[in-house]
Each structure stands twice: as structure tokens, then as C-alpha cells.
């Protein structure tokens, strides 16, 4: 049953990556060019999932949308990890007031909702993919810092670290050689769950018109467009939402599956 | 001072510092950035003299720290400034819309609890049976559904197909109770389902923890049924984790409400904020975001205070985590 979740997660994530990769070399139709004569076609041939209100092939837009969702996910999660993990490790290794300061800072950032941050950035700089990625990345940082700190504390208490420290290994050496390799799996799990969150947040932002601007296809803007034709062509509102849900489900299942797979206590049970 | 007193004081301190940090961030991002409000208001043809006059009128020619202090000072006395575009006080713009958002948040939280408490309890009790797996699977799916898509799906079913409920819009409670309720059903259910899915997972793990405790085994051993033992002894013990999650939920629901308002074109704080962003009405953006952040931080602080009420152990000290 546990493996079932992990395998499903890997398959769904694989599907998103495949869609994004295919869109790099080929899409059935132009995903951007407006074709007035082809508006709101039903699903069939040659438009597999029909066309949207601009006459653009929905399947083509979905494929390109997968690319945007991966780009935003990778960059915002990397940003969060690159800042959050070292801070969390610092807090875990240094302890004392350093730890207190880092974790309180994390609390403050954590309390500031990603969506509000994105709205602020959009108001100041104008909405773009970059403001969305920065907002999502900053909002996810505290989660990485917490996971890294908790993992570091655990590793620091282990005998091999005590041995390394007493034989004169510098804190940097301990961090690089012992802590980081041991907390890497935890970070991987967090990255997968963070990725799911990033996809949801990016979709919400582009749905609100605060993310990637037109004409670049994203799943969120596709839903925004489809909502205008809800009474005429309800199917158009189905596909992009389904794509978002499956991608998020995939990354969540992957994260949960990895956690169960890596957690020795749970492994003993199964 | 007693330990509880210290904890309270410390929490109030954290609240104040967070608020200060958030207000600076809000001010710096919106005020110190490109795009001269006076130029935007007067249009590109305006003479430099007119722009300078307006800048002076709006107080934009003062140094930034002075502008910040006058803004934050105003907020502390309940003056959120005046919209550059409409000339209305920001607070007067926010208040009538606050009711819409509050109704939505209230029903969203209640709805998510109504879903999550029984579902989580069931998932914990039957965690090795098909019922448990089913609840887990449904929660996973619910968590993956973007809140706005959930709203659109409900509209498709109940407004487009069945025509039972309105697809969007809002009628104030003072005008018509029935219409008010019918316009709020779909938005509230949307929030409840999506938030309920997240909450279910937390409720489940909080109760599973209780299942492993000695007092639960004892209660079972002296003849309590599983459900009765869990409800009688588990609720207060699970309450700590649940209150934490509920606090987080309240802030997520508040933010989710911004999105849901957009789906159903409800005239709440979210739509005010998004319109202000589109029109670059910076004081309205600053004021509304500040208000929402204040609400989130206050909720978090209240959650921490409530630990002292729920858990007597935390009142008399004990190791901090």
C-alpha cells in the first residue's frame, strides 16, 4: 500500500516531466497564436481536448503549461532550499542565541502568507513569473530551515559526530562531511512536498492574474480564461484543473512515499 | 513573574517584532519602488510642476523614514490613509467588505471542522482498514485540488448544470437572508472541502498519537469502547495539536478567501486588494495587506496563548521546545 503511493507519485511526476519535455520539441498546434475561426471547438480530432476562447489548441497549451509549472517549481524550491537549509544547519550546529534568532526569523516569515507576499511584489514591481517565484521561494524557506535544523540536531547528537568533533574536525568539516549527507534525504522529502505547494501557489497566482502574464500558457491562466465560457464550454475548465491536481497529487505522494521509505521506524513495521 | 507570565510577555514581544518587520516589508516593497504615484494619477502629459505639487500634497516628497512613520503612526490610531484614486479613506473602503470576508472565513472554518473531525477520527480508529485508506486517499485528492478549481467545479455542477444556486455575486445579510445564504453556500463549501482535506490529515495523526498512550489503553482495558475512550480522553490531549492546526487553518482560510472571492466575484477584502493592485492604488494595497497580516499574526499569537488554557503543564514551566 505504501509502495502504491510512491509508485503513483513517480508516475504522475514522470507524466508532468514528459509533457514538459515533449513541449520543448513538439506541440500539435501553436500554443500561442490566436485562431478566430477555431474558437471553443469540442474535443475530438485534430484538437484532442478542443480549443479555448481564442481558438488555441488546449492540449498544446497544457503541454507548455507543464513546462512553466516545472520551471516555477524548480526555481522557487531551489531558492528556498539554498537559503533555508544552510540557515537551519547553522541554527542546529551553533545552538544558543543564533538558533533562537534564526528560528524566530523563520516564524516571522512563516506567518507572512505567500499569496500576500506575491500580491505585494506584484503591486510594487508588476506581476511576472519572477515575482511569483520569489514570493513562493521566500514563503517556503522556513519549512526548509525547520527540517534542516531538526535533522542537524539529530545528527549532532550521534556518536560519529561527537568522535569527529573531539578529533578536531572543524564545524565546517562536520557540516559538510557528516550533517549534510545525513539530512539530504529529509531535504529531498521537503523539496517534493514544497514542489507541490509551489505548483498550487503558482496556479493560484496566475489564476488571479498575478503570475506569468499572457500569452505564455500556464495552467492557472488557462482556468482564468475558461471561467468566462463556463456556461458555453464547461469542458475547457476541466483540463487545466485536472492537470494541476494530478501534478500536485504526484509530488505530494512522492514526498510522502519517500518519507515512509526513508524512515527506518516505518520500514521496520512493514 | 510566574512562568506563564513570562511566556505571555515573550509571546507579546514576538508578536510586536513580527508586526514591525511585516509593516516595514510592506512599506518598503510598495512605497520605495518605481512608478511615481503622482505621475500615474496625473497622466504622462502632466507638467513637472503639477506632478511636484501633487507629490507635495500627498507627502511623497518627504524622506522615506518619515513617510513610514507617518503611515504606521496613522495605522496605530486607526487611520489607514486615503486612496489616491477615489479619495475615500482606506478604512472606509475596507469595513463594508470585511463582513463578506469574515462570513466566508467563519463558514469555511466551521465547514472544514465539520468535515475533518469525524473523517480524521474515523481514519485514526480504522487506520488498518479500508475506511482508513479511503479517508486518506480522499484527503490526498482534496489537498491536490486548487481551491479556485474546486470552486469552478461546484459552479459547474450546482449553478450551470442543476441551476440550484447562483454562480456568483453577493447580497448583504441586511437585505435578504435567503439570497445572502444562497450566495455564500458555494464559496463556503469550496473553502471547507479543500481546507477540510488538509485538516483531516492532522486530526488523524493527532488521534493516532493518543491511541498509543497508556491512558487510552487503560480506558480500553476497563471497558470503554474505542470511540468513547478516544473522545473522552483523546480530545483534550489532541487539542494542542488541533489548536495549532486550526490557527494555521484560520490564516490559510483567510488567504484562501481572497482567491475564492475572485472565483465567485464576492465584494470582500480580496477583491478590494486585487483591484487596488491592478490600479496601483498603493495606499489601499498597503492598508489591506497590513490589515490581513495583522489578522494572521494575531491569530498565531492567540493560538499560543490558548496552549496555556488547554495544557496545565505549560502553565507551570517545563522545558521549552
Delimit the domains of chain B by residue range: 97-311
CB contact under 8 A, A248 and B277: no
Looking at residue B1, what is its pLDDT? 54
Q: What percent helix, strand, coil does chain B show, rounded to 5? A: 80, 0, 20
Instruction: Report the C-alpha gap between B108 and B118 in whole angstroms.
Output: 16
**How far apart are the CA of B224 and the nearest CA of chain A, in angstroms?**
27
Sign of torsion over alpha carbons A81, A86, A92, A95: negative
The pLDDT confidence band at residue A219, using thresholds 50, 70 and 90, is very high
In A, which residues are within 8 Å of B276 by CB distance?
123
Our CA dihedral for B139, B143, B148, B149, rounded to 10 degrees, sits at -70
- The 10s digit of each residue's pLDDT in B264-276 is 999 999 999 999 8
Report whether A74 contacts A38 (CB < 8 A): no
Question: For the residues B166-178, what does the mean pLDDT come to?
Answer: 86
Question: For the residues B101-123, what does the mean pLDDT come to?
Answer: 91
In A, which residues are within 8 Å of B282 by CB distance?
123
Q: What is the mean pLDDT of chain A?
A: 87
Domain positions in chain A: 2-22+59-269
Report whether B268 contacts B257 (CB < 8 A): yes
Which numeric CATH code is attached to B97-311? 1.10.3720.10
Indicate whether A267 pLDDT > 50.
no
CB contact under 8 A, A111 and B29: no
**Partner residue facing B156 (CB), from A112, A123, A237:** A237
**Partner residue facing A253 (CB), from B26, B140, B274:** B140
**Partner residue facing A1 (CB), from B33, B133, B254:** B133
CB contact under 8 A, A123 and B147: no
CB contact under 8 A, B285 and A207: no
Instruction: Report the C-alpha gap between A244 and A242 in whole angstroms.
Output: 5
Looking at residue A264, what is its pLDDT? 56
CB contact under 8 A, A120 and B26: yes
Distances (CA, A) of A85 to A126, A144, B43: 29, 6, 47
Looking at residue A269, what is its pLDDT? 39
- The 10s digit of each residue's pLDDT in A109-151 is 887 888 888 888 888 888 889 999 999 999 999 999 999 999 9
Sign of torsion over alpha carbons A129, A34, A239, B155: positive
**How far apart are the CA of A167 and the nearest CA of chain B, in angstroms?**
30
Distances (CA, A) of A37 to A13, A40, A41, A66, A215: 35, 9, 10, 26, 19
Instruction: Report the C-alpha gap between B187 and B168 in whole angstroms.
Output: 9
- The 10s digit of each residue's pLDDT in B300-316 is 888 878 877 777 766 65
Which numeric CATH code is attached to A2-22+59-269? 1.10.3720.10
CB contact under 8 A, B258 and A245: no
Indicate whether A268 pLDDT > 70.
no
Instruction: Report the C-alpha gap between B218 and B224 in whole angstroms.
Output: 9
Of all residues in chain A, the one with the smallest CA distance to B258 is A115
Q: Which residue of A111, A114, A209, A260 to mutate against B (max B Cβ within 10 Å)?
A: A111
Q: What is the largest CA-CA distance in chain B?
A: 87
Indicate whether B319 pLDDT > 60.
no
CB contact under 8 A, B143 and A253: no
The pLDDT confidence band at residue B320, using thresholds 50, 70 and 90, is very low
Query: Angle CA(A252)–CA(A146)–CA(A139) in degrees, nearest 5?
Result: 65
Instruction: Report the C-alpha gap between B280 and A241 in whole angstroms.
Output: 30
Q: What is the DSSP annotation of B129-192?
A: SHHHHHHHHHHHHHHHS-HHHHHHHHIIIIIIIS--S-SS----TTT-HHHHHHHHHHHHHHHH
Report whether A16 contacts A70 (CB < 8 A): yes
Check residues B23 and A32 and name the one with the higher pLDDT.
B23
Looking at residue B240, what is its pLDDT? 74
In A, which residues are within 8 Å of B145 by CB distance?
241, 245
> pTM for the full model?
0.87
- The 10s digit of each residue's pLDDT in A94-111 is 888 898 888 888 887 887
With cell 511526476, the residue in question is A13
CB of A210 within 8 Å of a chain B CB? The answer is: yes
- Is residue A267 classed exposed, middle or buried when 0-12, 13-18 and 19+ CB atoms within 10 A define those classes? exposed
Indicate whether A90 pLDDT > 90.
yes
In A, which residues are within 8 Å of B298 by CB distance?
none
Render the burial of A51-84: b for 16+ CB within 10 Å, e for the rest. Answer: bbebbbbbbbbbbbbbbbbbbbbebbbebbbebb
Instruction: Report the C-alpha gap between B39 and B48 in whole angstroms.
Output: 9
Between helix A219-227 and helix B147-154 the angle, nearest 10°, is: 30
CB of B155 within 8 Å of a chain A CB? The answer is: yes
CB of B18 within 8 Å of a chain A CB? The answer is: yes
**How far apart are the CA of B231 and the nearest CA of chain A, in angstroms?**
27
Question: For the residues A69-74, what does the mean pLDDT come to?
Answer: 94
Instruction: Report the C-alpha gap between B286 and B24 in whole angstroms.
Output: 11
Looking at residue A67, what is its pLDDT? 92
- The 10s digit of each residue's pLDDT in A17-60 is 999 999 898 888 888 888 787 777 788 778 778 888 777 888 98
- The 10s digit of each residue's pLDDT in B128-165 is 899 888 998 899 899 999 999 999 999 989 988 888 88
Indicate whether A270 pLDDT > 50.
no
Indicate whether B202 pLDDT > 50.
yes
Of all residues in chain A, the one with the smallest CA distance to B247 is A111
Q: What is the mean pLDDT of chain B?
A: 84
Amino acid at each position: 500500500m505504501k509502495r502504491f503511493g510512491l509508485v503513483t507519485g513517480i508516475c504522475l511526476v514522470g507524466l508532468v516531466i514528459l509533457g514538459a519535455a515533449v513541449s520543448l520539441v513538439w506541440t500539435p498546434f501553436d500554443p500561442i497564436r490566436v485562431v478566430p475561426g477555431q474558437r471553443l471547438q469540442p474535443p475530438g480530432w485534430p484538437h484532442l481536448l478542443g480549443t479555448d476562447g481564442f481558438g488555441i489548441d488546449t492540449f498544446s497549451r497544457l503541454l507548455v503549461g507543464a513546462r512553466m509549472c516545472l520551471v516555477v517549481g524548480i526555481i522557487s524550491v531551489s531558492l528556498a532550499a539554498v537559503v533555508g537549509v544552510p540557515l537551519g544547519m547553522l541554527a542546529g550546529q551553533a545552538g544558543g542565541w543564533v538558533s533562537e534568532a534564526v528560528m524566530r526569523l523563520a516564524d516571522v516569515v512563516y506567518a507572512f502568507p505567500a499569496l500576500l507576499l506575491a500580491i505585494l511584489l506584484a503591486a510594487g514591481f508588476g506581476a511576472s513569473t519572477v515575482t511569483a517565484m520569489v514570493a513562493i521561494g521566500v514563503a517556503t524557506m522556513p519549512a526548509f530551515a525547520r527540517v534542516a535544523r531538526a535533522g542537524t540536531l539529530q545528527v549532532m547528537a550521534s556518536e560519529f559526530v561527537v568522535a569527529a568533533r573531539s578529533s578536531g574536525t572543524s564545524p565546517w568539516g562536520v557540516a559538510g562531511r557528516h550533517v549534510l549527507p545525513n539530512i539530504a534525504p529529509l531535504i529531498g522529502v521537503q523539496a517534493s512536498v514544497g514542489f507541490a505547494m509551489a505548483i498550487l501557489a503558482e496556479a493560484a497566482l496566475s489564476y488571479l492574474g498575478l503570475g506569468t502574464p499572457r500569452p505564455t500558457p500556464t495552467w492557472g491562466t488557462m482556468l482564468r480564461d475558461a471561467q468566462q465560457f463556463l456556461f458555453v464550454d464547461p469542458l475547457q475548465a476541466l483540463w487545466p484543473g485536472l492537470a494541476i491536481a494530478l501534478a500536485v497529487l504526484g509530488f505530494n505522494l512522492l514526498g510522502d512515499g519517500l518519507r515512509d521509505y526513508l524512515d527506518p521506524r516505518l520500514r521496520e513495521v512493514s | 513573574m510566574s512562568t506563564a507570565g513570562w511566556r505571555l510577555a515573550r509571546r507579546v514581544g514576538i508578536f510586536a517584532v513580527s508586526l514591525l518587520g511585516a509593516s516595514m516589508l510592506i512599506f518598503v516593497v510598495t512605497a520605495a519602488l518605481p512608478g511615481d504615484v503622482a505621475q500615474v494619477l496625473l497622466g504622462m502629459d502632466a507638467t513637472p510642476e503639477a506632478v511636484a505639487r501633487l507629490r507635495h500634497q500627498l507627502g511623497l516628497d518627504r524622506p522615506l523614514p518619515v513617510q513610514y512613520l507617518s503611515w504606521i503612526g496613522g495605522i496605530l490610531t486607526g487611520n489607514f490613509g486615503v486612496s489616491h484614486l477615489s479619495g475615500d479613506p482606506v478604512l472606509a473602503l475596507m469595513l463594508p467588505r470585511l463582513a463578506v470576508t469574515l462570513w466566508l472565513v467563519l463558514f469555511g472554518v466551521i465547514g472544514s471542522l465539520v468535515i475533518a473531525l469525524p473523517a480524521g477520527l474515523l481514519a485514526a480508529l480504522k487506520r488498518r482498514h479500508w475506511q482508513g485508506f479511503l479517508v486518506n486517499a480522499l484527503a490526498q485528492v482534496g489537498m491536490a485540488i486548487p481551491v479556485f478549481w474546486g470552486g469552478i467545479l461546484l459552479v459547474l455542477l450546482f449553478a450551470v448544470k442543476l441551476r440550484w444556486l447562483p454562480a456568483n455575486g453577493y447580497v448583504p445579510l441586511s437585505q435578504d437572508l435567503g439570497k445572502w445564504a444562497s450566495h455564500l453556500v458555494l464559496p463556503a463549501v469550496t473553502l471547507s472541502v479543500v481546507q477540510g482535506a488538509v485538516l483531516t490529515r492532522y486530526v488523524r495523526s493527532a488521534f493516532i498519537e493518543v491511541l498509543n498512550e497508556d491512558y487510552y489503553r487503560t480506558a480500553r482495558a476497563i471497558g470503554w469502547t474505542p470511540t468513547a475512550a478516544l473522545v473522552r480522553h483523546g480530545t483534550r490531549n489532541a487539542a494542542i495539536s488541533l489548536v495549532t492546526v486550526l490557527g494555521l487553518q484560520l490564516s490559510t482560510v483567510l488567504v484562501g478567501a481572497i482567491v475564492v472571492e475572485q472565483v465567485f466575484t464576492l465584494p470582500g477584502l480580496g477583491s478590494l486588494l486585487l483591484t487596488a493592485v491592478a490600479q496601483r492604488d498603493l495606499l489601499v494595497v498597503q492598508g489591506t495587506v497590513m490589515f490581513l497580516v495583522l489578522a494572521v499574526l494575531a491569530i498565531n499569537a492567540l493560538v499560543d496563548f490558548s496552549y496555556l488554557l488547554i495544557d496545565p503543564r505549560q502553565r507551570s514551566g517545563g522545558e521549552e521546545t
